[in-house]
Structure 1
Amino acid sequence: MKAVTKLLIACTALAATAPAQAAQVTGQISIGGYAAPSGSGSFGTASGYDAVIGQGGAANPGVAGSLTAYGAGTGSFAGLSCSNNAGGCGTIADILNFGTFAPTANFLTLVVPGQTVAFDLNSLFDINAMPNALTGGSLSFAGLGTIRFSGYDATPGVFTFTAQGNQITSFSASALAAPVPEPGTWALMLLGFGAVGYSLRRRRSAQGFLPQAA
């Protein structure tokens, strides 16, 4: 029995507040689509997943699946939405085997008229498959990558995936961008550390000259 999974993806990004970092991507967006476990009939024993086109879509290993909807975005994603689009609302690539994963450009893309919105997945971590005879088990993983959005700086992010059951189920994904300190911020931090170190050295030096109790 082929298991089919309904995707629910939430992409989130945070940017630094410094002016030079103001162009980084912020906010989140929810995305829908479908996938099936790869290497097994259930996610609890799967070695990866195969993104398919539509619920009950035929397996097509190595070919990106089609996203069916996205919306409810915040920050940079506010106002973006797509559903019932004949050409699909975007794509998500397969990861058929976690053990042979390689960095994937355009791992996730959204169809946004006149813009590019994509997530490049560079590495995976926290891969966890948990078998369950009653529910079909669950599968989860996370990955580091980069959000690319027209008009914004490329923003580091993390993608997370969870799926459970051996029939229609759901998984979620999020991308979180870590703020990168400005050069001026680094300089202030280093200056602060230096001041603290200098203060500690003076204190220790002063203690060295205290008279000893008789």
Structure 2
Amino acid sequence: MRHFAQAAITAGFLLAAVPAHADGGLTFVIDGDTFSSPFVITNTSTAGETVLGFGISLIPPFGFDTVNGGFGIDNSLPFTPNAAAALTTGYTGPGAFADGSTSIDFTFSDFDFGESFIWDIDVDGPNQVTVFGSDLIGSTGYADFSNGLRGNGNFVAFGAQGSQFVINAFTPTQSAVPEPGTWAMMLLGFGFVGGTMRSAKRRQRMTVSYA
């Protein structure tokens, strides 16, 4: 019975080392012409999570038109982040994207709740001059949060000519690292396990058998 109680206490320590994740939140609406309207993402997390990364993958046949005379058939617009927003959110790159890319990925170091990252870039099709947000319905995206979770989602209809990114599932990020408090609880739990095992071994050595 004592061993069972010790095991239960040990399990409690180990379970306490696994934090309960609160889901992060991010809003992104593409409303109107992608050439003339800036793109804006906003951290709407409810438990203090920061945004570590964000990415978009466009549905065919669309791509990002960053060079005149290249992928698109009209004027292009290279990736241009808003300087103030980049500073506020701790934007860490990249600084440019290849013409005709169908996906873009951003990373941040200080993207707190309520803050927004703003950028300009043109989206075109091989034979389509003007691309509206509604043309991109079905595209996919993701957002990485500081709680170790990635929000995966897609773009759905928003108004007459827009689309909105909606997170529909959360998965652990591959680079998720426990926070300092979590590490402390894990070490405490492992130390308790080690102490229990050493105590059991000492009791075994002190046991005397009689023929």
More helix by share: 2
Answer 1 or 2: higher relative contact order, Cα 8 Å, separation at least 6: 2
TM-score by length of structure 2 reads: 0.32
Max Rg structure? 2
More strand by share: 1
